[in-house]
Amino acid sequence: MDKLVVKKSLGLNGEIRISGAKNAVLPIVCAGILTAETLNLTNVPHLKDIDTLGELLRLMGIDVSLNNGNMLITANKVTSLMAPYELVKQMRASILVLGPLLGRFGEAIVSLPGGCAIGARPVDVHLKGLEQMGAHIEIENGYIKAKVDRLKGARIIMDVVTVTGTENLLMAAVLADGVTVLENCAREPEVVDLANCLVKMGAQIEGIGSDTLTITGVDKLHGATHAIIADRIEAGTYAVAAVMTQGDLTLTNVRPDVMGAVIEKLRLAGANVIVGDTTLQVIMHKRALAVDITTQPYPGFPTDMQAQFMALNCIADGTSVMSENIFENRYMHVPELCRMGADISVDGNIAVVKGCDSLTGANVMATDLRASASLVLAGLVASSSTTVDRVYHLDRGYESMEDKLGKVGANIKRITY
């Protein structure tokens, strides 16, 4: 097991190159199941979640290799159509194999993901949509067993806006017989990146980037080369680090055009944010102002940035009200931040954060990916040393965080024990 020891590191300064987006790679790798030809992906980050998905695809007989950010996926001899519980429980996004397996092979057996630290996270919308496309679905011994001769196009109105739900149904529809209209789709940039990759593979999709996707099924997809979109959450996390430490960071290889809601909040906190085509410079020379946050589906403020902005609000000037509207239990970082001296009270999905002058270091424990990031951020400004345990959560979604932060002046060290 690893832990991170973080010491006070004010004035972070320099350049950080942002990696490809975890939440785009995961569905796009699954899109590789849809063709017997090779899908060639570039800008792929080296993350635990990507390794887990690679392992899952290899279990199915699919060739997967990852070298220097270049991933090759060849599904020309698929030998198993099953995603076992042992892997799905490590990573819920494994559910993304369901749509492609069913679309190409007419069968899939995928473990139900179960609940997770941040909420119940059901997959009912995924299943209902596939049933509307003609799939016969049974739940047996904790597994989703889905079968169909060939999926048929249908009009599907999703009850809730779901990112992986939209992605699963989109991947199912591209090889279906006829036209599928998906309504109330998630519009996250990662959904758009998947759709763009599918189009390169020969899919016919209209309405990309909107809440209605119209997909005309084709008989076959082919191989393609695709560069993964930059990770807007990783970029947002380091932008918050610049604000909290009163530093000057330039983030490179980013897509500022998909970071509008976060950039607005950085500016409201008092930062000078200079937006380039593929760069974002965040300059801060004073104490941050508290900012209210309401999480919403894209283009609203992302739930995946809520914990990081809470860390910022803990040391900001003023009181902020934060409202988490996507997941019902996404304040697991609150008790840990409070152990570092933060003043936060939670009532249901609302958190009120009173900014304090400083935090103190403590031994804290990460409970999920973004919660871990918020604890590292808090550690950067705490008066004494902070130890963040259970760093494996962080490794699921941040590529070498301690190296990237270390290079811009952070005092952060990984300890393996």
Percent helix, strand, coil in the chain, to 5, is 35, 30, 40
69: contact with ligand UD1 by CB under 6 A: no
Least distance between ligand UD1 and beta carbon 297 (Å): 7
Nearer to ligand UD1, 12 or 57 (CB): 57
Round to whole Å and give the CA distance between 232 and 240: 12
Phi, psi of 271 (to 5 degrees): -80, 150
Q: Is the peptide bond before 299 cis (omega within 30 degrees of 0)?
A: yes
Does 93 bind ligand UD1 (CB under 6 A)? Our answer is yes
165-184 positions binding ligand UD1, by CB under 6 A: 165
Separation of alpha carbons 352 and 321, rounded Å: 5
> 8 or 126, CB closer to ligand UD1?
126
CA gap 44, 294 in Å, rounded: 30
Q: How many residues bind ligand UD1 (CB under 6 A)?
A: 22
Query: Taking CB under 6 A as the rule, which mask of x and - marks residues 271-310 in contact with ligand UD1?
Result: --------------------------------xx------
The whole-angstrom separation of Cα 137 and Cα 153 is 17
Measured from the CB atom, is 160 or 268 closer to ligand UD1? 160
Q: Which residue in 26, 34, 151, 269 binds ligand UD1 (CB under 6 A)?
A: 26
Which stretch in 160-168, 200-208, 246-254, 345-353 sits in contact with ligand UD1 by CB under 6 A?
Answer: 160-168
Q: Which amino acid does the sequence have at 45?
A: P
What element of type H or E holds 166? helix 163-173
By CB under 6 A, residue 374 contacts ligand UD1: no
Q: Is 247 left (phi over 0), alpha (psi -120 to 50) or beta?
A: beta
Q: 107-146 mask for ligand UD1 (x: CB under 6 A)?
A: ------------xxxxxxxx--------------------
116 is catalytic: yes
Which structure tokens are listed for 181? 């209209």
Neighbours of 114 (CB within 10 A): 13
Question: Is there binding between residue 262 and ligand UD1 (CB under 6 A)?
Answer: no
Burial of 210 (0-12, 13-18, 19+ CB in 10 A): exposed
Does 23 sit near ligand UD1 (CB under 6 A)?
yes
Question: Can residue 327 be called a binding residue for ligand UD1 (CB under 6 A)?
Answer: yes
Do 83 and 56 meet the contact criterion of CB atoms below 8 Å apart?
yes
Compare residues 3 and 301 and give the one whose CB is closer to ligand UD1.
301
Residues that bind ligand UD1 (CB under 6 A): 23, 26, 93, 119-126, 160, 162-165, 186, 190, 303-304, 326-327
- The residues assigned a catalytic role are 116
